Amino acid sequence: MNALGNASLFSLFSIVISAAPMVAGFAFALRPAATRLALVRALTLVGLFVTAANIISGAVNVLLYLARQSPVTPSPPGEFYTPIAEMLVIPFIGFVFLALAWTGVAIGLRKPFDH
């Protein structure tokens, strides 16, 4: 849970944005309609783009952290891998939300609805 405690506001906001397709996917599972399916598709693109932006933002922060390290002192592997692991927690959560969104769509597609 240390990774979420160290997360930036952008990262926390991206979790909220990535949860929107999941909510729309569950709404489609409960009451399938063509408009809800279109909303899930659009929100999925938003979730993918914000997750990709979060990965890039985290990679930039890790590279800045590594650039500030002293070149004389060798960096132990823990100081290298820990920021990368923390960087990947938020995108992982975003991709899980997207997977849950499309699980809801798959459940909703089993029911007849207006195409």
Query: Each residue of 15-68: pLDDT tens digit?
Result: 999 999 999 999 999 999 999 999 999 999 999 999 999 999 988 988 888 788
In a domain, 46, yes or no: yes
Residue 10 has pLDDT above 80, yes or no: yes
Q: Does residue 20 fall inside a structural domain?
A: yes
Asked if residue 20 lies in contact with residue 46, where contact means CB atoms within 8 angstroms, the answer is yes
Q: Is residue 38 part of a domain?
A: yes
- Residue that wins the pLDDT comparison between 62 and 102: 102
For residue range 34-46, what is the model confidence (pLDDT) as tens digits? 999 999 999 999 9
Q: Say which residues have a Cβ less than 8 Å from residue 21's Cβ, sequence separation at least 6.
A: 40, 43, 44, 46, 47, 97, 98, 101
What pLDDT was estimated at residue 65?
81
Number of domains making up the chain: 1
Residue 115 lies in a domain: no
